[in-house]
Amino acid sequence: MTAFWRMPATELAALIRSREASAVEVARDALARLDAANPAINAVVDYRPDDVLAQAAAVDATMARGEDAGPMAGVPVTIKVNADQQGYATTNGLRLQKDLVATQDNPVVANLRKAGAVLLGRTNTPAFSLRWFTRNGLHGHTKNPRDPGITPGGSSGGAAAAVAAGIGAVGHGTDIGGSIRYPAYACGVHGLRPTLGRIPAWNASGAERHVGGQLMAVSGPIARTIGDLRLSFAAMSARDTRDPWWVDAAPEGPPAPKRAALCIRPEGMPTAPEVEAALRDSAKRLEAAGWVVEEAECPPLREPAAIQAMLWLAESRRGLNASLHQEADPDASFVFAQMEALCPVPDLNAFMDGLQKRGSFVREWMRFFERYPVAITPVSAELPFKDQDDVSSPEAFRRIMEAQLTQVGLPLMGLPGLVVTTGLVGRVPVGVQLLAGRYREDLLFTAAEAIEAAGVPASPVDPVLA
């Protein structure tokens, strides 16, 4: 029997579109892999085999009529539990929302369906999608399939763990402070945080987001190959005016020189030797592919990270406190208390000043990208953290926040970032983050493909149990 679950999305879609394999065959194989691998990692927390097979049969029926089933025809994709999927609960990892069943698809989910993808299952997130670790009182604890002693990342930890273990070729994730990029790093796969407005998203099941979420939260893909990121990004980006921030931007921008800035320690970030080695190795890979790479300082991330935290907490302090008390998730309560301690309550002037400064930071970064179309930065200052390290002590939480500067600082500007996995330190993944100007995901893909071509950790993997 063909192990379809090992194949990238691009190959699966080609096989199904050429009718060399049926979508139902692929779906059955994906469900078998889910049943075999998921018990060890708890990445997928809700799936319905009959629904999966019905979706696949519909793809095959479309093909049988001679109609186009879409660029992702029959490709198994997972959806994070914080996005509306019709008929499923949008739990966001909360007992409070276990019965919040969506009546319509989030635009990103609808776009995946239109592209022919088969929605395989719903992936885990921490309570409130609040952490770089994935555990909650409703769905339980997600483990990293490469090493259960390290975090799978968060908040899209279930998505990245599933992709790394071969449960679906692509995972949907969301990112407001690293929730796509960091899980990809921790699980040894690739992840794209797109430009604000690229991929339409909106949950009809919840209230309109406050301005911080509107300016910084995005959906994007996690995958094992850069080609699969390209494919799923294009599918996810289709028009849907339910998201007022969606922009009909061209998929590719004007030609740009192959010049990259290598930023080892942005604003004094305490980059570990293993991470620095991965950064320098990636720079050499790009140079071998014809790029000019110069070591440089990048524009500010530290003050944008502080403004980001202020906007997070302005939203959370207004509406989350009651829910935190009701949910009584010990991890979320601890993390929120630490964040509040690091970020005093702003008055109206401080809030307005923060939003005003955003324009200056966007301008500075866009001017930087005129000289260096791509920047190479750490994903994190450290190798993936020991699992649950953030709730071990206030001191550990503060160390982790400092290590995640490049995760938290970027979203304020609405810029895209792509994490490329590059290797392993023992069995712990390492990689780099690539940055580019707004709507220049095409440059990120080009650079990432050059890095990927020189070698990445083998995947998918069978979950390591100890």
Mean pLDDT rounded to a whole number for the chain? 97
Cα dihedral value 239, 244, 248, 254, nearest 10: -140
Mean pLDDT for 105-110 is: 98
Cβ atoms 126, 134 nearer than 8 A: yes
Cβ atoms 388, 135 nearer than 8 A: yes
Task: Identify whether 232 is a catalytic site residue.
Answer: no
pLDDT at residue 86 in the model = 98
Q: Is the pLDDT of residue 318 over 90?
A: no
Q: From the candidates 22, 129, 156, 179, give the one annotated as an active-site residue.
A: 179
Task: Provide the strand spans (E) within 182-251.
Answer: 190-193, 218-223
Q: Is the pLDDT of residue 338 over 80?
A: yes
Please check whether residue 464 lies inside any domain of the structure: no
Q: Say which residues have a Cβ less than 8 Å from residue 300's Cβ, sequence separation at least 6.
A: 267, 361, 364, 409
Q: Residue 386: beta bridge partners?
A: 150
Please check whether residue 466 lies inside any domain of the structure: no
Cβ atoms 302, 409 nearer than 8 A: yes
- Cα separation, 193 vs 267, in Å, equals 22
Alpha helix ranges (H) inside 42-199: 49-64, 107-114, 157-164, 181-187
| Domain CATH number, residue 16 | 3.90.1300.10
Q: Say which residues have a Cβ less than 8 Å from residue 451's Cβ, sequence separation at least 6.
A: 282, 285, 286, 420, 422, 432, 434
What pTM was estimated for this model as a whole? Answer: 0.98
Alpha helix ranges (H) inside 237-347: 273-288, 302-327, 330-342
Please check whether residue 229 lies inside any domain of the structure: yes
For residue 213, what pLDDT band results from cuts at 50, 70 and 90?
very high
Please check whether residue 192 lies inside any domain of the structure: yes
Task: Identify whether 316 is a catalytic site residue.
Answer: no
pLDDT at residue 316 in the model = 75
- Cα separation, 127 vs 324, in Å, equals 9
Please check whether residue 27 lies inside any domain of the structure: yes
pLDDT at residue 84 in the model = 99
Tens-place pLDDT, residues 44-96: 999 999 999 999 999 999 999 999 999 999 999 999 999 999 999 999 999 99
Neighbours of 25 (CB within 10 A): 17
Task: Identify whether 205 is a catalytic site residue.
Answer: no
pLDDT at residue 65 in the model = 97
Sign of CA dihedral 237, 238, 243, 248: positive
pLDDT at residue 58 in the model = 98
- The token pair that represents 104 in the structure block: 């319509």
pLDDT at residue 315 in the model = 74
pLDDT at residue 345 in the model = 87
pLDDT at residue 325 in the model = 87
pLDDT at residue 162 in the model = 99
- The token pair that represents 5 in the structure block: 């679950």
User: Where in the sequence is the domain holding 143, given as residue range(s)?
Assistant: 7-453
Please check whether residue 344 lies inside any domain of the structure: yes
Mean pLDDT for 423-429 is: 98
pLDDT at residue 466 in the model = 83
Q: Residue 221: beta bridge partners?
A: 172
Cβ atoms 379, 269 nearer than 8 A: no
- Structural domain tally of the chain? 1
Please check whether residue 2 lies inside any domain of the structure: no
Q: From the candidates 80, 143, 232, 237, give the one annotated as an active-site residue.
A: 80
Q: From the candidates 129, 155, 219, 459, give the one annotated as an active-site residue.
A: 155
Task: Provide the strand spans (E) within 5-99.
Answer: 44-46, 76-80
Please check whether residue 155 lies inside any domain of the structure: yes
pLDDT at residue 333 in the model = 94
For residue 317, what pLDDT band results from cuts at 50, 70 and 90?
confident
pLDDT at residue 216 in the model = 96
Question: Could you tell me which of 117, 136, 115, 110 has the C-alpha nearest to residue 125?
Answer: 136
